[in-house]
Structure 1
Amino acid sequence: MLMSAAEYRESLRQYKPRVFINGRRVESVPDEPLLMPALNAIGVTYDFALRKQLQPVMTAQQALTGCTVNRFLHINRCGADLLNKLEAVRLVCQESGCAQRYLTQDALNAIFQATYRIDADRGTEYHPRLIEYLRFVEQRDLTCAVAMTDGKGDRSLRPHQQPVPQSYVRIVERRADGIVIQGVKAIVTGAPLAHELLVMPCRSMTDRDADFAVCCAVPVDAEGVTMVARPAGRPGEAAAKFSGRYGQTTAVVHFDRVRVPWERVFLAGEWEHSGYLTRTYATHHRLSCIGARAGFGDLLIGAGALMCEANGLDLERTHHLREAMVELIKIVEGFFACGVAASVYGLQHACGAFEPEPVFANIGKLLLSTQIYDMHRLAHYVSGGLVVALPGPEEDHNPHTAATLAEVLRGRPDIPYERRMEVARLLEDLTASYTGGWYSVISLHGGGSPEAMKMEIFRHYPLGNKVDLVERLLERQVLASPERTITRNRQPGRCCLTGCLVPEVAAVAPTLAERTRAGVGGDGPREDRRKGV
């Protein structure tokens, strides 16, 4: 079934999670004002899937059941699935900034691949369990939060060496009916507003860390689960033109001897597979991050252009502003293009799932992680300095100041003062407020720090192929030397999957350009949108 945003909100009433915000217990999650922007953002993923115009990209037919499911619950089967997922993430983030729910799909795909691999190696039965759990989630159109990043404690020590073992989630008891876990996950996006928590390892483990190699599904209101969450966005603030409506909450989640039945356990001590699960999730999630920040970048591009217009400047004639806008566009579409490449050149897993090509996915995420600050800088540059001294919205109704401000702070005579202020406050909210700072940090560290992306790029990049190329040109006969480690990482046909032919991609949903020409709501033409993939 496919729920609407309203039905999603009502479904949360069936759960009674133990949540604290700003030092107080939340009585009702779906009615909590400090969580409302995050609830609205996740709700976008539900309502968009019900719009007929958007269904080709926002829904998919699940191969396991033949049922139509929300895109963010789908197991990817081909490059077209990855492209549609990338477009879906960008689409919902154009509306909400960060819709959070795509983490559900990233985790389900990673666990799908990892359980198949573990079963093949160990003779376990994790993969059939995951398939049954997937059916459970799909039939109810649930949202799952990903509990991956542990508290980590002293980061110079491995999990089993920690003076406070609870800084990592671990198995503390194995029972006939399941396992008991304890510990803390430090950064769980959307946790209070999810139906389920997917607990996953955050790193490679050793044999002495086996108890920390755990992956399982836990209801958000399971006994022993406590969440300490941050408010979502800037609810209730009049100046928060964007984040008063849409935002994201994150939580520290403490598991205090939480019992998990075996049918919900997908990894329990097989430590040698924990690194694969972590890296596979990271690859899927970094593709999502690319789509998410591209959607956020679209908001900056649009707000910057509107601000130039409100200031009375023509971008085609004001060369330095035009160059800044082109630079902003180059950044956004540059890392998005890496996402497209990661989708087109994706890899087929033995279980039938399809994952992004890791080099392109990690390069795209690395670019957006480090260039988010340039995106903010360029948006500030093209908007002018009004944001620095922007009067608060209360002044719009102050009888002592409103008339004067409306006269002296107007830009173009045909654009009312109120319109100019509205765009300026939106830009301030996105780039120069608590929300703007938060977007910078989450872009830098969300999905792994830049160092993690660099490690994955170097791990997967076929450096040996490039050395072979030069050695061949130099006509040197040293390629077979076993001690030359620089040439060990080779991938035949690395320029493409089939030797110099572009991989065939199955039918893709209507392009973003095709959809946005009619607008997200299908209300009329738009001529200033980018072309689709």
Structure 2
Amino acid sequence: MLTGQQYKDSLQDGRKVYFEGRLIEDFSTEPGLAVPMNVAAEGYDKYFSAEPGALNPVITAPRSAEDLREKIPELLEMDLLLNVTYQSIMTLIVAASRIATSAPQFIPRIEAYIEKARRDDIRITECITDAKGNRSKSPSQQDDPDAYVRVVERREDGVVIRGAKLHISAAALGHHMMVMPTKTMKPGEEDYAIACAVPVNAPGVHITNTTYHPTDRDPRDFPVSSEKSVPDSMCIFDDVFIPNEHIFLDGQVEHAAVFAHSLGLWERLGGTAFMVEQADELVGLAQLIAEANGTQKISHVREKIDEMIIHATLLRAGLEAAIMHAHATPEGFYYPDDMYTNVTKYQGAVQFGTMVRHLHDIAGGAVLTAPSMSDFDNETLRPFLEKYMSTGDEVSGEYRTKIFHAIRDTTADAYGGWHLVTNIQSGGGLFAQRLVTRRHYDMDRAKRLAFRAAGLPSS
């Protein structure tokens, strides 16, 4: 296993990582990269063991529904890089079980890769969304054939790929990228049916980065995002060679969607678990600011908080249902139920904006206009700020201002905007979740009930 410092050292491997157009050689000089790198390093130290042969204990596949339930707190406590590594490995495990009969040649490779990845204690990020070009056209119909990642050359010892993957969280901070098809492919699109592991420092890989990290602002005004940020990347593959042992699908169009569906399941589980925690956090912020404003007993404020509580509780119930109805692979590994996971993720994403609106309505305009914490450092200003931001002897101006900053940071600034979009798009957009839900819903039973209600035969 690696220590946090060894992890940091491992990133000095010649990778081509860019930020605001600049090639970055030392992550520690860029706050938007340094902060998440340090968080990931802390994750390494947290689970480090010097015992010979020790493996990270959290990267283990659950063997029962109860194991799956116990994994949820770990998912929430993990740094994001470790979380996506876990999701990547679980994606391979589930996908392998689904292609074992019809594409058995890839199973030994997948199993060997998982074993080596755990033994080497590497971090793996998920690369699924392509540039896509014209969305009305399939991969093979694009004006630019590289709009979807594809194989441009097949050799005896591997393949060469070209294309780009977008919206990839923490790609610059990992060791490997798990590249997989973003959608179903059809005959004639064999070159696009490629799933493989790509080292971040492989020749031809270039990674751009964006971040919501408040790189040049007082971290006290950004109490959450200054401590918990992650860069999002475009991963460019400019004729990158992939050896055979890192190839997990190559040309089998009938299985192209298997990896995407398997990844979506684990991403949505992680996303749902976070949404449950996030929903409770929004309730807490709403209650705190209502109390600080002196409005906690006003009927419309209480009603809004009640709605937020109901939303949070329903999400928790959906997460519990996904775990209770978990399924097992032939090897005995458990994964959450598709329908309950997707329904809960969908509902959390759709209602997120409404819950935030309730919070903003309860809080008021000071969510955006509260003084900065550095204003409180000014000896002339502080007495005035304490006087006018206070709402009574028990609520200091600084206390109330800090709550406003927490609300703004998490819901009304760069980090809040990031959440607004990622809650919808992570694990696939809303349409993908509706599609999975319809596929797994018992429509026949619903129709039988409708026939009975109408007094019609159900034949």
TM-score scaled by structure 2? 0.92
Q: How far apart, in 2, do the equivalents of 1:402 and 1:15 lie?
A: 48
Show CA shifts across 1:270-324 (max 9, x none).
11011122112212211111012222233323333322333345x4x44433322
Q: How far apart, in 2, do the equivalents of 1:142 and 1:412 lie?
A: 53
User: What secondary structure is seen at the aligned counterpart in 2 of 1:374?
Assistant: helix
Q: Does 1:320 align with 2:320?
A: no
Aligned counterpart, 2:93: 112
Conserved 8 A contact 1:76-1:109: no
Q: How far apart, in 1, do the equivalents of 2:401 and 2:237 lie?
A: 46
Aligned counterpart, 1:157: 137
Conserved 8 A contact 1:197-1:218: yes
Aligned counterpart, 1:16: 14
Q: Does 1:81 align with 2:67?
A: yes
Aligned counterpart, 1:38: 36
Q: How far apart, in 2, do the equivalents of 1:452 and 1:82 lie?
A: 23
Pairing of 1:350-499 with structure 2 (within 5 A) = 350-471=330-451, 477-479=457-459
Q: Does 1:198 align with 2:178?
A: yes
Aligned counterpart, 2:280: 298
- For residue 160 of structure 1, report the CA deviation from its aligned partner: 1.2
Conserved 8 A contact 2:8-2:41: no
Conserved 8 A contact 1:40-1:246: no
Question: Which letter maps to 2:15?
Answer: P
> Residues 213 and 121 from structure 1, CA distance in 2 versus in 1: closer, same or farther, beyond 3 angstroms?
same
Q: Does 1:248 align with 2:219?
A: no
Count of residues paired in the alignment = 454
> Residues 76 and 319 from structure 1, CA distance in 2 versus in 1: closer, same or farther, beyond 3 angstroms?
same
- For residue 256 of structure 1, report the CA deviation from its aligned partner: 0.8
> Residues 447 and 271 from structure 1, CA distance in 2 versus in 1: closer, same or farther, beyond 3 angstroms?
same
Conserved 8 A contact 2:178-2:197: yes
Question: Which letter maps to 1:357?
Answer: D
User: What secondary structure is seen at the aligned counterpart in 2 of 1:208?
Assistant: coil
After TM superposition, the structure 1 stretch with the greater mean CA deviation from structure 2, 286-295 or 396-405, is 396-405
After TM superposition, the structure 1 stretch with the greater mean CA deviation from structure 2, 20-29 or 382-391, is 382-391
Q: Does 1:213 align with 2:193?
A: yes
Q: How far apart, in 2, do the equivalents of 1:309 and 1:476 lie?
A: 56
User: What secondary structure is seen at the aligned counterpart in 2 of 1:179?
Assistant: strand
Structure 2: which 5+ runs fail to align? Answer: none
Show CA shifts across 1:137-177 (max 9, x none).
21233221101000000111111111111111111111111
> Residues 8 and 243 from structure 1, CA distance in 2 versus in 1: closer, same or farther, beyond 3 angstroms?
farther
Q: How far apart, in 1, do the equivalents of 2:375 and 2:149 lie?
A: 50
Aligned counterpart, 1:311: 293
Aligned counterpart, 2:151: 171
Conserved 8 A contact 1:109-1:353: no
Q: Provide the alpha-carbon RMSD of the alignment.
A: 2.4
Q: How far apart, in 1, do the equivalents of 2:142 and 2:119 lie?
A: 40
- For residue 83 of structure 1, report the CA deviation from its aligned partner: 1.5
Conserved 8 A contact 1:41-1:247: no
> Residues 264 and 444 from structure 1, CA distance in 2 versus in 1: closer, same or farther, beyond 3 angstroms?
same
Q: How far apart, in 1, do the equivalents of 2:409 and 2:187 lie?
A: 48
TM-score scaled by structure 1? 0.79
Show CA shifts across 1:451-507 (max 9, x none).
11111111111101222344467775553xxxxxxxxxxxxxxxxxxxxxxxxxxxx
Question: Which letter maps to 1:424?
Answer: F
Conserved 8 A contact 1:366-1:453: yes
Q: How far apart, in 1, do the equivalents of 2:404 and 2:312 lie?
A: 21
Paired residue for 2:202, among 222, 231, 236? Answer: 222
> Residues 357 and 10 from structure 1, CA distance in 2 versus in 1: closer, same or farther, beyond 3 angstroms?
same
After TM superposition, the structure 1 stretch with the greater mean CA deviation from structure 2, 326-335 or 430-439, is 326-335
User: What secondary structure is seen at the aligned counterpart in 1 of 2:265?
Assistant: helix
Q: Does 1:142 align with 2:125?
A: no
Conserved 8 A contact 2:163-2:237: yes
Q: How far apart, in 2, do the equivalents of 1:291 and 1:48 lie?
A: 21
> Residues 200 and 434 from structure 1, CA distance in 2 versus in 1: closer, same or farther, beyond 3 angstroms?
same
Identity across aligned pairs (percent)? 28
> Residues 277 and 224 from structure 1, CA distance in 2 versus in 1: closer, same or farther, beyond 3 angstroms?
same
Pairing of 1:323-338 with structure 2 (within 5 A) = 323-338=303-318
> Residues 306 and 37 from structure 1, CA distance in 2 versus in 1: closer, same or farther, beyond 3 angstroms?
farther
Aligned counterpart, 2:244: 262
Q: How far apart, in 2, do the equivalents of 1:86 and 1:450 lie?
A: 23
Aligned counterpart, 1:502: none
Structure 1: which 5+ runs fail to align? Answer: 52-65, 480-533
Conserved 8 A contact 1:8-1:46: no
Q: How far apart, in 2, do the equivalents of 1:222 and 1:370 lie?
A: 39
User: What secondary structure is seen at the aligned counterpart in 1 of 2:17?
Assistant: strand
Conserved 8 A contact 1:234-1:240: yes
Conserved 8 A contact 2:32-2:230: no
Q: How far apart, in 2, do the equivalents of 1:385 and 1:474 lie?
A: 52
> Residues 304 and 226 from structure 1, CA distance in 2 versus in 1: closer, same or farther, beyond 3 angstroms?
same
Q: How far apart, in 2, do the equivalents of 1:474 and 1:392 lie?
A: 63
